[in-house]
A and B are shown apart, each in its own frame.
Chain A
Amino acid sequence: MTKRLLINKLAIMFSSLMAILGLAFLAWIIITLLLKGSSALTPYIFTHDLVENGIRNLLWGQFVLAGLASLIGIPIGLLAGIYLQEYGNHTKYATFIRDLSDVMMSAPSIVIGTFIYAIIVIPAGHTNGWAGIAALFVMMLPIVVRTTDDMLSMVPVELREAGIAIGAPKYHVVLHIILKAAKVGIMTGSILAFARIVGETAPLLYTSGSTIYMETDLTQTYPSMTVSIYNLATMPDEKLVSLAWAAALVLTLVVLMLNLLGRFLIRDKRL
């Protein structure tokens, strides 16, 4: 009896300790970012491009790349997820796609970057915005597919049957009942998927590249915040290094806020 209680106490202590350890590293990262990044974090950098020691073009570029990738990736992923859960379900084909998505989700991002480099950047002759978008799209697609699939699978089967039993065609039930019931979950999944790709470096390294100038033509080398952070961090000029810290801080805060928004939506979820 007492032995059981003792083991229980030890297990709680041990797991709490590990949780604190994990949190400590997270706090360490954020504190370091704050300390090193805040000195260069001035209003100036938001109104000037990298050529003038600002990050305006980088912010623009990063969000255009991730935003357009989401604009293409979310609808396609959503439709694929709906197919998997509502129409394919346990057929061999659907199981195959589901497994493939799982594999794709854990594919190293640098591999995806290299793949896009081979099929888009080399034929085009130089890094460009579309290639960056394509790489981020490939990264994002399986995430959206699987979250949609999972969120739809949490909608009770009785709700589908009730819709059918009232004389609704299946597509109508999916569109007006099932998607509505899973709306919050799917929205949250999409936000988290966006948050996931907006901070990626490896897929952009050889695809969009990065530039110190403002750019709006997606067929040209496109500014990317993450790639520039990578470049600036190894510069001898201390000013540029602290600019990289500031950019990293901004990016971290954005991703953190997107994640918090996602969690908040989940917490608010009904059903």
Chain B
Amino acid sequence: MKNKMEINDFSFTYKGAKAPSLKHISLPVECNKVTAIIGPSGCGKSTLLRSMNRIHDLYPGNIYDGEILLHNKKDEPSQNILDIKKENEFIKLRQKVGMVFQKPTPFPMSIFDNIAYGLKLSGQKNKRKLQELIEKSLHKVALWEEVKDRLNDDARGLSGGQQQRLCIARVIALKPEVILFDEPTSALDPLSTLAIEEMIFELKQDYTIAIVTHNMQQASRVSDYTAFMYLGDLIEFGATETIFIRPTKKQTEDYITGKFG
């Protein structure tokens, strides 16, 4: 199994909008690789990412067309996530496909509870096991040393970069199969950005990653594949090196060389 997700001829129209925001997108998301989605503001890159865990459905009335396949582990059959209708299936999907947002979003509770929240929801009641999982995920995002003595402090007291790493820890504690990053560093300083980029590079050993970014350097640094989008169309997709060094489409080249966007 090479691809974790496959987006096939996918179109998306926001509620009440006349024209679709995404038009016939086809894009593979390969297992244990980082796929970056780049493009100017309003090109639909976030809309596409937010379709991949159906977070759009928080605001009902949008129209989906085409399919987004999620290939499950080994024996289970693949699933078209656009068919999901029941709330418990949505919950399962979001536990498999986690998401990290642009602005750090610590919950109004302690550092410990921020991670415990999702774990408890997924059925983990054992206190010792909780403790263990929380410590492990904090280690993974290199936050453990900084917070181990104040796990019961309010998470909103952490710095922006620490908050974002906590949000990532919160997602990976649930052992998702895919992690979606929606411009995860655009609200952070350069040092915190570097820390998160390094983390993404390590996370791909265990997870499949899709990242939306405004920052082309970031895309070229962290990703294996890059998709360039413009006005709701997927213009070009390929290995990151190819896209950045020898793009085949003129629009891609213009964007990457900074002529527009």
Q: Which residues of A contact B (CB under 8 A)?
A: 156, 158-170, 172, 176-177, 180-181, 183, 270-271
Contact = CB atoms under 8 A, between A and B. Distances in A.
A249 to B, nearest CB: 40
B1 to A, nearest CB: 23
5 contacts: A162-B105, A162-B107, A168-B117, A170-B87, A270-B156
B118 A166 contact: yes
A162 to B, nearest CB: 4
Given A160-B58, A172-B121, A271-B156, A165 B108 contact: no
Interface stretch (B64-72, B167-175, B203-211): B167-175
A186 to B, nearest CB: 13
A179 to B, nearest CB: 9
Interface in B73-120: 87, 91-92, 94-95, 98-99, 101-103, 105, 107-109, 117-118
A158 B103 contact: yes
Interface in B97-148: 98-99, 101-103, 105, 107-109, 117-118, 121-122
Nearest to A180: B108
A181 B154 CA distance: 12
B101 A158 contact: yes
Contacts of B98: 165-166
Nearest to B157: A270
Contacts of B105: 156, 158-159, 161-162
Contacts of A167: 91-92, 94-95, 118, 121-122, 174
Nearest to A90: B59
B53 interface: yes
B118 A161 contact: no
B239 interface: no
Given A156-B103, A161-B101, A270-B156, A166 B108 contact: no
Contacts of A177: 107-108, 117
Given A167-B94, A169-B87, A169-B91, A162 B108 contact: no
Contact of A165 (B94, B102, B103): B94
Contacts of B174: 166-167
B121 A271 contact: no
B109 A166 contact: no
Contacts of A166: 94-95, 98, 117-118, 121, 170-171, 174
How many of chain B's residues touch chain A, expressed as a range?
20 to 34
B55 interface: yes
Instruction: Rank and list the top 6 A-B pairs by shortest CB-CB distance, nearest first.
Output: A162-B105, A165-B99, A167-B95, A166-B118, A181-B108, A167-B94
A169 B121 CA distance: 9
Interface in B33-57: 53, 55
A252 B58 CA distance: 47
A161 B103 CA distance: 11
Contacts of B95: 166-167
Given A158-B102, A159-B105, 19 more contacts: A156-B103, A156-B105, A160-B58, A161-B101, A162-B105, A162-B167, A165-B53, A165-B98, A165-B101, A166-B118, A166-B121, A167-B91, A167-B92, A167-B174, A177-B117, A180-B108, A270-B154, A271-B108, A271-B156
Contacts of A161: 55, 58, 99, 101, 105
A158 B122 CA distance: 21
Contacts of A162: 99, 101, 105, 107, 167
A148 B194 CA distance: 40
A169 B94 CA distance: 11
Contacts of A172: 121
Which of B98, B117, B122, B171 lies at the interface centre, i.e. has the most chain A CB atoms within 10 A of its CB? B117
Contacts of A163: 107
A166 to B, nearest CB: 4
